[in-house]
Structure 1
Amino acid sequence: MARSKNQGGAGGARSVESKSQPARGGKPTLKQQREAEIQRKLAGFKLQHSRARRNRLILIITAWTVGIAVVAGLVIFAVTSTLPKSPPAAIDGVQSFSGLSSNHVTTPVKYAQTPPVGGNHSAVPLNCAVYSEPVPNENAVHSLEHGAVWVTYDPTAVSGAQLDVLRKDIPSSYAILSPYSGDPSPVVASAWGVQLKASGVDDPRIKDFIAKYRSAKSAPEPGAPCSGGVDGPGKVQ
């Protein structure tokens, strides 16, 4: 009888144990389901966070790239806009004269062109500057020999605001501006061996002429001093 009870007790213990543990291959417990759901939500949150971070990074990189491109474009525009434009290879209306002599003389010279573009001249160059009165031909021609550009204007046709515009276009070196009585056009630009007649101060060819022939190698002595000579009457600057 005692043996029978012990066996029954053992069987009862096994029966209780089987009720407290889930059988293998059974459904997950409620706790396991909740943990799985939490892990799933955490994974989704991490994925969303990663995508949002990636999108922000792409947006920042794009903004920086666009910003750098805009700044670079502005810098390039600012630099290139301040650089002098290259003059055209040929300027419409420019006349050329060859066979010009270049001797130093002490007497007045009768020149074939008005204003002169070369020929015999004074041994003393005219200081390059802006003048309000006519300057001596012989001294100005010596400056042309050194590569200067001489811009003359008819004082009866150019004055006031127009003259101010013309003066602003004259460089501070290797350029002369002066009135010229009997100028064949309102404005004439001359360099050694070449000349341009312009109908007004707004003719864009004047700037092109200055850029092309100022200190040009076509002059007999380009780069020789355009200062240290003599001032003409009415020197302004």
Structure 2
Amino acid sequence: MTPTPPSPADKRASGNPAKQAEIALTVKQQREQKRQEKLAEYQKQLAKRRRSKLVWWVVGVTAAVVIIGLIVASIVFAPAPPKAYTPGGEGVEIEGVETYENETQHVEGAVEYEQSPPTGGPHNAVWLNCGIYDQQVPNENAVHSLEHGAVWVTYDPAEVSGDELSTLEAQLPSTYVVLSPYEGLDAPIAVTNWNHQLKVDSAEDERIGEFFEEYWRSADVPEPNAACTGALDAPGKRN
């Protein structure tokens, strides 16, 4: 007797259970399952892109805030530009300015001056380079700078420091000025040009600016418009 071959139903009933479940799915169900898988993958990628955009947006905003902060800080904390004065003056009388008569002569060695700080007189043949000094400078070289039209601003370091010193510096021009401490000064601040001197108690005294307007780079000096650079840098020169 010839054996009967297995029917399709018998074939489906045997084999791997997972395979049987897959075969049992209709074509429509398989398509729906694949569509759902693709949709899930798309939503996953979309969420990833959104997170990436959010991260870059946060990074961009943070960077912009930092840049703006740096710009604002650079403006707020930047040093004030040097004051601008007109060389010479118009003979304006300033209350408290003392006038002297000093002769000019090049000498060697130390000089005993009648005024303190000196307002002129015999001096070293080498002038002091103009600028800001943190240490006391030699009288004999500073006087030579006065001869060239510079203004010498001196202060008592025991009286003037910190914000007061910054206020004083803010009133200085960029050239033809010497700023230095001066031990034994009989006033907190003295402003000097050749044969003229003003002593004040505060860096906020408006007469400091008036003195510069009248005497800075004055033509009424022995050597007007001579150089204030290219000679001696005394110890403590800042700029």
TM-score, normalised with respect to structure 2: 0.62
* 1:88 Cα offset (Å): 7.5
* 1:152 Cα offset (Å): 0.2
Residue 138 (str. 1) matches residue 173 (str. 2) = no
* 1:119 Cα offset (Å): 0.3
Structure 1: which 5+ residue stretches go unaligned?
1-81
Q: Distance in 2 between matches of 1:87 and 1:180?
A: 30
Q: Give the residue type in structure 2 aligned to 1:130.
A: I
Q: Distance in 2 between matches of 1:131 and 1:91?
A: 27
Q: Give the residue type in structure 1 aligned to 2:198.
A: L
Structure 2: which 5+ residue stretches go unaligned?
1-82
Which residue does 1:126 correspond to in 2? Answer: 128
Aligned positions of 1:142-157 closer than 5 A = 142-157=144-159
C-alpha distance after superposition, 1:128-180 (max 9, x if no partner): 00001100000000000000000000000000111111112111111110000
Which residue does 1:104 correspond to in 2? Answer: 106
Q: Give the residue type in structure 2 aligned to 1:168.
A: A
Residue 89 (str. 1) matches residue 92 (str. 2) = yes
User: SS where residue 138 of structure 1 aligns?
Assistant: helix
Q: Distance in 1 between matches of 2:90 and 2:207?
A: 9
User: SS where residue 227 of structure 2 aligns?
Assistant: coil
Q: Distance in 2 between matches of 1:87 and 1:166?
A: 24
Q: Quick check: 1:155–1:179 contact (8 Å CA) kept in 2?
A: yes
TM-score, normalised with respect to structure 1: 0.63
Q: Quick check: 1:88–1:208 contact (8 Å CA) kept in 2?
A: no
Q: Distance in 1 between matches of 2:225 and 2:219?
A: 9
Q: Give the residue type in structure 1 aligned to 2:213.
A: A
Q: Distance in 2 between matches of 1:184 and 1:151?
A: 14
User: SS where residue 131 of structure 2 aligns?
Assistant: coil
Would the alpha carbon gap of residues 137 and 84 (structure 1) be closer, same or farther in structure 2, given more than 3 Å must change?
closer
* 1:182 Cα offset (Å): 0.8
The percentage of aligned residue pairs carrying the same residue is 47
Bigger Rg, structure 1 or 2: 1
Q: Quick check: 2:85–2:212 contact (8 Å CA) kept in 1?
A: no
Which residue does 1:175 correspond to in 2? Answer: 177
* 1:218 Cα offset (Å): 1.3
Runs (4 or more) in structure 1 with deviation over 6 Å come to 85-88
* 1:94 Cα offset (Å): 0.3
Which residue does 2:226 correspond to in 1? Answer: 224
C-alpha distance after superposition, 1:171-196 (max 9, x if no partner): 11111100000111100000000000
Which residue does 1:215 correspond to in 2? Answer: 217
C-alpha distance after superposition, 1:44-99 (max 9, x if no partner): xxxxxxxxxxxxxxxxxxxxxxxxxxxxxxxxxxxxxx97588881111100001x
Which residue does 2:195 correspond to in 1? Answer: 193
Would the alpha carbon gap of residues 164 and 176 (structure 1) be closer, same or farther in structure 2, given more than 3 Å must change?
same
User: SS where residue 151 of structure 1 aligns?
Assistant: strand
